[in-house]
Amino acid sequence: MCGIVGYCGNQEALKILLQGLQALEYRGYDSAGISLKSTHRIETLKTKGKVIDLITLITESNIDTKARMGIGHTRWATHGIPSSENAHPHFTDNVSVVHNGIIENYRELEVFLNQRGLKRKTQTDTEIIALLIDFFLKDKTFEEAFKETVKLLKGSFAIASISKDENFIMAAKHESPLVIGLSDNQIFIASDVSAMIEYTNEFIFLEDGDTAKISAKGITIWDKDGQKVKREPITINWSKQTAQKSGYKHFMLKEIAEEDESVRNTIQSRISENGKILLDDEISIDKGFIKNIDRITIVACGTSFYAGLTAKPILEKYTGVKVDVEIGSEFRYYNYIYSKNNLFIAISQSGETADTKEPLRMAKEKGIKTLSIVNVKESAIARMADSCIYTLAGPEISVASTKAFVSQLAVLYMLAFYVGQIKGKQIEKKAKMLLSIPKLIKTTFNNTVEAAKKLAEEYHRYKNFLYLGRGLCYPLALEGALKLKEISYIHAEGYPAGEMKHGPIALIDENTPTVVVAHSKEPLYSKSLSNCEEIKSRDGKIILISDKQADIVDETIKMPEVDYELLPFIYVVPLQLFAYYMALFLGYDIDQPRNLAKSVTVE
């Protein structure tokens, strides 16, 4: 998730672009850059680091500060390490481009360009866009070349581009946000309204497939079929902080709402249309070793640990080997016995978690092959492991992790299918089903958000909760209980439903509600309903999260139908929403709960 900003108008573009980038920095902050259009030339400055580092670079430069048109970008790295070279804008002698998203078919397009003598100088997929536009400029106008380029792109993208010979910005949107801001004699474009809210409250939200031509004189928009369309502007009266949250009250709710986009970013360039897993470029571990793996050891903390626990049965099924999932803070202090061909996996959103980093270091000292699953590029754990698969979830601002969980799950599922693929197993059908998950996550959010809010309003005064699940639903019960504890400060215990009679049943009464997570196709669904009967006979209240109604429970959050093995991606959504609204009704600081930090870098 990166931040794009562009400007055409009667003011100096530099100040507006920099203010816009600072407002968008929550979307990405590993590098930043701008391109300004002067008379028949484009000047570009970019650097690794934050927008303040870019401002320092500009202060020391001779860039034309009087330019009236330009584009800017603040980056959250997906393709290529954070560096000045990989920072946006990407440019040729004729054009400059900024991009948010992932170009799935950039490898095929690179072959096309290489055959014509054009080669990338950076590690990014975005440079391909600039090279394609430049190539088509040989016999087309800038507008035509841009449109021709967009036709070739597959994936998710929001793009803005300028030419040295034209006084307009070309833009395109597909599955990544892009908004146009309107004001007298000036037009803005950005990833979200926060970059423009100081200058206007009139916005046009581009739709998927739209292409736009933007100048100080006005806007032309074409839809996915190439037909000119008129998009009606919308008036939004938000503060800058509200705009950064896209109108949501808290970052946590915004990030839950973004989970479909996060999973899409995680999987879309790594699963082919025919169901092949494309991880060869990211996993440098020898395929011979992968084929002969005899054990997988996952080490993580908190929500990342629960992601590993959720994926454990999927990994065991498709890899055919034993999987251990260990808590980092415990694992580092006992003598773990590794097998001959053991793969060690460290999971961390930040890539800096001390209790995960130390076991990784210890594993490497013993000569164990290591792999990390990390969100933050070039973090310590990412650099330390033999190979790293980035989740590409985008910045997660709220302390309570949400979208990182589903993106970590997506990587673990792909890894399971990848190892199975190398071992000759038929994984294509299930891998293709994974491609449908982003849409299902969005549907689940839309269908359950009000139900979760209503239940939280009814239950937020209770002081204790029990969360139960079986099979794949058990780790979700743990994660649901953790979320409730983290942000609402309510005591909650997650348990395997079958363990209820071995102790937790003593807690059941009319003051201790139970959240039961169950899927009608799970092997032990009938036993989960039996647990509900036992709770009900002790006057306990039951909230059921399931695809099937049950008369015995008090409340049900009805879930969409989904393949049993893929249920964790959507069943976690109402658990997160319920915790969020519980904290909201209690009046707590949701994004920065007490005693917690986003990245735990000390023991």
Contact between 365 and 359 (Cβ < 8 Å): no
Alpha helices by DSSP H, 36-88? 51-59
- Dihedral angle, C-alpha 120, 122, 123, 127, nearest 10 °: -60
Alpha-carbon Rg for the chain in angstroms: 25
307: left (phi over 0), alpha (psi -120 to 50) or beta: alpha
Specify the residue for token string 């009319």.
510
Q: How far apart are CA 215 and CA 220, in angstroms?
A: 9
587: left (phi over 0), alpha (psi -120 to 50) or beta: left
Catalytic residue among 276, 317, 536, 598: 598
Mapped onto helix, strand or coil, the DSSP state of residue 474 is helix
Specify the residue for token string 């996993």.
283
Residues 6+ apart with CB under 8 A from 127: 90, 120, 121
Strand pairing class (228-229; 218-222) = antiparallel
CA 456 to chain CA centroid, Å, is 26
Q: How far apart are CA 318 and CA 312, in angstroms?
A: 10
598 is catalytic: yes
| Residue of 331, 335, 324, 256 lying closest to 301 (CA atoms) | 331
Which helix (H) or strand (E) is 467 found in, with range?
Answer: strand 464-469
| Residue of 267, 331, 320 lying closest to 290 (CA atoms) | 320
Specify the residue for token string 């739209």.
210
Residues in the chain: 603
The DSSP annotation for 370-407 comes to EEEEESSTT-HHHHHSSEEEE-------SSS-SHHHHH
Mapped onto helix, strand or coil, the DSSP state of residue 512 is coil
Which helix (H) or strand (E) is 6 found in, with range?
Answer: strand 3-8
Within 10 angstroms of residue 591's Cβ, the number of other Cβ atoms is 19
Q: How far apart are CA 171 and CA 97, in angstroms?
A: 10
388 is catalytic: no
Angle 68-72-76 from CA coordinates, rounded to 5°: 175
Render the burial of 337-350: b for 16+ CB within 10 Å, e for the rest: eeeebbbbbbbbbb
| 154: amino acid identity, one letter | K
Sign of the Cα pseudo-torsion (6, 10, 14, 17, in order): negative
Q: How far apart are CA 346 and CA 117, in angstroms?
A: 41
Secondary structure in 3-state letters for 245-277: CCCCCCHHHHHHHCHHHHHHHHHCCCECCCCCE
Active-site annotation, residues: 2, 598
